[in-house]
Amino acid sequence: MTYDTVVVGGGVSGLTSALILARHGRRVAVVEKAAKPASLIGGFERGGIYFDSAFHYAGGLGNGDILDLFFHYLGIDRLLRKVPLDQNKFDIFRDSASGWEFSFPCGIAALQEALCEAVPHEARGIQSYFVCLAAAFRQLPYLNPGTPEVTWNPVEAVHGPSLAEVLRRFIRDPRLGHLLSLHTLLHGVSPQEIPFSIHAGVVLPFYRSPCRIAGGGRALAAAFSAQIQAAGISLIQGRSAEKLVLSASGHLQGLKLADGESLACRECVVSIHPRRFLALAPQGALRPAYRNRLMGLEDTSSGYILFLHGLAPPPILAGSNLYLGFSGQGMAEALSSLERRPLFVAGGAFHADSAQTGHGWSVICPASWLEMEGEWASAGFPRSDSYRAAKEEVSGRIFQRLAHEAPEIVQGARLIEAATPLTLRNHCGGPRGGIYGVRQAVGQYNPQPATRIPNVYLCGQATAAPGVLGAMVSAFLTCGHILGDDRLRREIMA
Ligand SMILES: Cc1cc2nc3c(=O)[nH]c(=O)nc-3n(C[C@H](O)[C@H](O)[C@H](O)COP(=O)(O)OP(=O)(O)OC[C@H]3O[C@@H](n4cnc5c(N)ncnc54)[C@H](O)[C@@H]3O)c2cc1C
């Protein structure tokens, strides 16, 4: 049998692409090396306790907002229950030194008002900043499917300005600049490097309508799986893609799997990290300049993650997430010492029926893969003693910080598991353990959907934008390239 399209990688971007293309009558197969699709967002269990691993909350999930439209278009909305976060405080920032707190309310107008109340002498700057943010957002494709005249040129984002440059134009008070940069943790790139337009694309949907999903990432993964099955898409799971098969004239003929079987296909959408895509391409199929460009792509920051368990979840996490950090401190400065880094405490998918087993929640601390460089060569298990000792030491230090800066997060809680940049390299698939994938940075040209091999396309891995929303935008961009952007946009709006 010949497939019209084979999608390599069954994460959010790969599954979204598969659903869009199947909806347009293509015969589609998804090849996923993990035992289950959407394994990254699907969370994990330890001793019967469920932990979210790579999906805690998303923006743009309010009725009719962008992620809600995407879910509806794919038919997964009816399989999910959205849980809006606390309207008055969806995210809480707490200054680690003084204990001062700022609560982010939902909605742009409410947030502007809260910021003006907290820093009244910056009221004009706040207003101008938000006008700029909305204008940048309006230019982004697929985040505004109802605006056909969007003429986004990705090169413009690469040329800047950065978030830090725009903040400097309008904001004087470093405490306010820090609050407006806090959510750079949601894309893993510093305010000095992130293009302002990309930052707008990430934070605006969060400011507007942040939600969790009942059942967490596991429920989202299950909804995708069910819809893939309903759409008649062949799911080839637990098997790895190894090589694209090309004819002598360089045209795609199929995909060879690591176990030797080949799938014949006319088109391939590759949703694995662009550097790993290089290994799929046969020798000589890509020009050296293109290979070098993909090899040179830098990833978003990596991280340490603590997974905590307690019989009752901390009340502060019921409708909110907690950000800890040092008010006014820049990101570059913060990364130098573990004790100064921002920490993100994510509430979990807390269920009333978990009263017996208790609940799991997690704490994410940004890190560089270089901190684990000594262990980088050791891909396998069991891990070395030195790695285990380093992991224990880092987890202990973060736990101590929490005991001091947010005791309610660790009181009565046990540390069940920890992850390092090495863990993230294995689970997220980026060669350097980046949390989101390829970074969006001023000066970095990320690959476009079309590759140098005819009918082979890239998507996902934050090449277009980070997070679950970014993975879906990337899938729409790639499928728009294949099917026609106007047509897809009209369908989403319909
Ligand atoms: C700790 C953490 C917390 C996060 N929190 C959030 C959050 O709260 N909200 C949010 O929106 N986003 C969050 N994210 C980001 C979000 O989970 C990702 O951006 C998104 O899931 C990426 O989807 P993707 O399809 O691009 O990549 P992936 O999910 O990595 O998909 C790629 C797939 O390809 C498979 N694969 C790799 N190589 C091969 C091969 N050779 N053959 C076959 N298959 C292969 C992999 O197994 C994988 O399933 C978080 C991420 C992390 C790590």
Please name the residue whose Cα sits nearest to atom 3 of ligand 1: 54
pTM given for the model: 0.96
Return contacts of 250-257, CB within 8 angstroms, 24+ apart. Answer: 250/285, 250/453, 250/454, 251/454, 251/455, 252/453, 252/454, 252/455, 252/456, 254/6, 255/6, 255/8, 255/31, 257/31
Please name the residue whose Cα sits nearest to atom 53 of ligand 1: 435
Residue with token string 């790695």? 387
Residue 451 lies in a domain: yes
Q: How many CA atoms lie within 13 A of 123 on its CB side?
A: 5
From the CB of 57, is ligand 1 less than 6 Å away?
Answer: yes
Probe ligand 1: pick from 15, 16, 55, max atoms within 8 Å of CB?
A: 55
- Answer yes or no: is pLDDT of 147 > 90: no
From the CB of 316, is ligand 1 less than 6 Å away?
Answer: no
From the CB of 468, is ligand 1 less than 6 Å away?
Answer: yes
From the CB of 434, is ligand 1 less than 6 Å away?
Answer: no
Residue 364 lies in a domain: yes
Give residue-wise pLDDT tens across range 446-460. 999 999 999 999 999
Whether 238 and 270 map to the same domain: the answer is yes
Q: Which of 413, 435, 457 is the last residue of a domain?
A: 435
Left if phi > 0, otherwise alpha if psi is -120 to 50, otherwise beta: which for 270? beta
CA of 159 to the centre of ligand 1 (A): 27
What pLDDT score does 191 carry? 94
Please name the residue whose Cα sits nearest to atom 52 of ligand 1: 54
Whether 418 and 444 map to the same domain: the answer is no
Whether 429 and 307 map to the same domain: the answer is yes
Q: Which of 164, 188, 209 is the last residue of a domain?
A: 209
Residue 92 lies in a domain: no
Domain holding 287: CATH number? 3.50.50.60
Please name the residue whose Cα sits nearest to atom 10 of ligand 1: 467
Please name the residue whose Cα sits nearest to atom 16 of ligand 1: 467
From the CB of 271, is ligand 1 less than 6 Å away?
Answer: yes
From the CB of 341, is ligand 1 less than 6 Å away?
Answer: no
Whether 202 and 230 map to the same domain: the answer is no
How far is 362 from 346, CA to CA, in rounded Å? 6
How far is 389 from 368, CA to CA, in rounded Å? 18
Probe ligand 1: pick from 74, 272, 302, max atoms within 8 Å of CB?
A: 272
Q: Assess contact for 476 and 70: CB atoms under 8 A.
A: yes
Residue 97 lies in a domain: no
Ligand 1, atom nearest to 346 Cα? 8
Whether 388 and 452 map to the same domain: the answer is no
Probe ligand 1: pick from 16, 41, 240, 256, max atoms within 8 Å of CB?
A: 41
Whether 399 and 312 map to the same domain: the answer is yes
From the CB of 263, is ligand 1 less than 6 Å away?
Answer: no
Whether 284 and 316 map to the same domain: the answer is no
When computed from its CA atoms, the radius of gyration of the chain, rounded to whole angstroms, is 22
From the CB of 429, is ligand 1 less than 6 Å away?
Answer: yes
From the CB of 12, is ligand 1 less than 6 Å away?
Answer: yes
Question: Which amino acid does the sequence have at 241?
Answer: A
What pLDDT score does 60 carry? 96
Residue 86 lies in a domain: no
Give residue-wise pLDDT tens across range 279-301. 999 999 999 999 999 999 999 99
Number of domains in the chain: 3
> Between these two residues, 350 and 210, which has the higher pLDDT value?
210
Closest alpha carbon to 265 in 488, 485, 30: 30
Whether 221 and 238 map to the same domain: the answer is yes
Whether 155 and 244 map to the same domain: the answer is no
From the CB of 479, is ligand 1 less than 6 Å away?
Answer: no
Residue 99 lies in a domain: no
Q: How many CA atoms lie within 13 A of 12 on its CB side?
A: 31
Question: Which amino acid does the sequence have at 387?
Answer: Y
Q: Which of 165, 181, 209 is the last residue of a domain?
A: 209
From the CB of 472, is ligand 1 less than 6 Å away?
Answer: no
Give residue-wise pLDDT tens across range 364-402. 999 998 888 878 777 677 788 889 999 999 999 999 999
Whether 292 and 412 map to the same domain: the answer is no
The tokens describing 420, both together, are 């390092």
Q: 211 pairs with which residues across the strands?
A: 58, 84
Give residue-wise pLDDT tens across range 302-338. 999 999 999 888 999 999 999 999 987 766 666 678 9
Residue 113 lies in a domain: yes
Ligand 1, atom nearest to 56 Cα? 8
What pLDDT score does 273 carry? 95
Residue 341 lies in a domain: yes
Whether 280 and 291 map to the same domain: the answer is yes
Give residue-wise pLDDT tens across range 24-48. 999 999 999 999 999 999 999 998 8
What phi, psi does 482 have (nearest 5°)? -80, -45
Domain, as residue range, for 445: 2-43+62-73+214-297+438-493
Q: Quick one: pLDDT band at residue 354, thresholds 50, 70, 90? A: low
Whether 245 and 353 map to the same domain: the answer is no
Mean per-residue pLDDT, 415-442: 92
